[in-house]
Amino acid sequence: MHKRPDPWHVPRAALADSILNVISSRVSNVLLLFAPRRRGKTDFLLKDLAPRAKELGRQTIYVDFWKPGIAPINLLIRAIEETCPPSLLTQARNVAASLLTRVSVSGELSTPGAKISAELAPDERPSSDMVPHAYLESLLDALAGSGRPTTLLLDEFQEIARAQDGAAFIAMLRAQLKHHEDRVSTVITGSSMAALRAIFDNRDAPFFRTGTMIEFPDHGADFVRHMGHALTEQTGRKLDEDAADRVFESVGRNPQIFRSAMAVMVMDKSLTLNDSVAIATGRLARDENLDDRWGRLGLLDRCVLTHILQQPEIRPYSGKARAQLAEAAGLGQVSASRVQSSLKRLERNGFVSTWSGGPSVDDPLIRLWAERHK
Ligand SMILES: Nc1ncnc2c1ncn2[C@@H]1O[C@H](COP(=O)(O)OP(=O)(O)OP(=O)(O)O)[C@@H](O)[C@H]1O
Ligand SMILES: [Mg+2]
């Protein structure tokens, strides 16, 4: 079934084309697209890159690894099974079964979407993770051997690092991508720099380290124009362009907050843009459980966060900053290591990130929230 285009989606055609050019010119088959949360990475993969890749004859397979409790390898297998023709799946199952078949004892091996029967010697019975590995390898081999080039869109890649067996899966993926570099490419996205660093700094993952970084630029004025146009189409209301530009800046050019505000305006035609942004921000904060998360922060952590927001030019563990923090938190003194622990806690809980080297608050929702709760 053909999906109706989303009238609120602002296309990023140029970015999609430049990524597909890098892939088709064979500069690299591993592309890395990292940006902080809520910047539109997933929307870009699903609504811009995948349709454009398909238009150009590519097979695209999208996987969201943010599914706690499901092994990453099974998520990729399931995505391939949902996308590929049955004949390709049968071929891959047969190859996997024959790879696993040796002799004597019969074993039935379950993969997420299929059962592979095999005859195995007792000492050759595969370990439980060998079966999905063999099946996935066969699937990727079959994809590489099919007439169409394949692009894997691997979203929230950093979650693999948190999963059990994540390292073995990454090693296998790396080998397969190297083996099929002419036929299979991947675009990897992630939103937690700390978790991604854990993957890419791993000495077993040099292949990923040499992947090509793609800059993911913020939306510009075209975003606000597009939203204004869609709003007029849907409701007849007009946005004041200058005021809307200022509001977009004030929410850190965040597409989600602005678009949620548009939804509020569609539902209640009496509300202004500013009111709608306040309502949308409140709702998003509720969805994110920010009240609770904020409440659980210790006093020093909140002071460190406020310091980063208000005086980003002064490193929080410098002597000057620590003197200010001690005063704000009502402590005699604050050691550099205490500030470091506080920063780690803030990063772990999604309040602070280190995208640009030093600690910063990239999520505009948190920025707005912190300002309101000063
Ligand atoms: N190009 C766009 N046009 C219109 N709205 C957009 C666009 N990109 C993102 N948005 C809005 O922002 C929301 C968040 O985008 P998305 O989920 O793609 O961000 P993300 O970077 O993947 O975030 P996360 O890291 O949290 O997964 C979308 O649900 C949509 O409302
Ligand atoms: Mg996403």
User: Residue ranges of the domains in the chain?
Assistant: 13-213, 221-287, 297-372
**pLDDT category of residue 125 using cuts at 50, 70 and 90:** very low
C-alpha 115 – ligand 2 centre gap (Å) = 32
Which residue CA neighbors atom 13 of ligand 1 most closely? 256
Which residue CA neighbors atom 28 of ligand 1 most closely? 256
Q: What is the mean pLDDT of residues 37-64?
A: 95
**Which residue among 52, 256, 262, 276 is best mutated to probe the pocket of ligand 1, counting the most ligand atoms within 8 A of its Cβ?**
256
Which residue CA neighbors atom 18 of ligand 1 most closely? 40
- C-beta atoms surrounding 99 within 10 Å: 16
Q: Which of 155-169, 173-187, 346-360 has the highest mean pLDDT?
A: 173-187
- The CA distance from 137 to 77, in Å, is 10
Residue 102 has pLDDT above 80, yes or no: no
Residue 38 has pLDDT above 90, yes or no: no
- The CA distance from 325 to 367, in Å, is 19
C-alpha 95 – ligand 1 centre gap (Å) = 39
What's the half-sphere exposure (Cβ side, CA atoms, 13 Å) at 343? Answer: 20
Q: What is the mean pLDDT of residues 35-40?
A: 86
Predicted local distance difference test score (pLDDT) of residue 336 = 94
Q: Which CATH number fits domain 13-213: 3.20.20.70, 3.40.50.970, 1.20.120.1200, 3.40.50.300?
A: 3.40.50.300
By the 8 A CB rule, do 161 and 321 touch?
Answer: no
Predicted local distance difference test score (pLDDT) of residue 126 = 47
Segment 319-331, tens digit of pLDDT: 999 999 999 999 9
Segment 141-160, tens digit of pLDDT: 999 999 899 999 999 988 88
- C-beta atoms surrounding 70 within 10 Å: 12
- The CA distance from 24 to 22, in Å, is 6
Segment 254-287, tens digit of pLDDT: 999 999 999 999 999 999 999 999 999 999 999 9
Segment 197-225, tens digit of pLDDT: 666 666 555 556 678 888 899 998 999 99
Q: What is the mean pLDDT of residues 249-254?
A: 91
* CATH code of the domain occupying 297-372: 1.10.10.10
**CA 47 to ligand 1: nearest atom:** 1
- The CA distance from 351 to 76, in Å, is 30
Predicted local distance difference test score (pLDDT) of residue 104 = 33
Which residue CA neighbors atom 15 of ligand 1 most closely? 40
Predicted local distance difference test score (pLDDT) of residue 94 = 84
C-alpha 50 – ligand 2 centre gap (Å) = 14
Residue 185 has pLDDT above 90, yes or no: yes
- Which amino acids bring their CB within 6 angstroms of ligand 1? 8-10, 12, 35, 37-43, 191, 255-256, 259
Q: What is the pTM of this model?
A: 0.85
Q: What is the mean pLDDT of residues 21-46?
A: 91
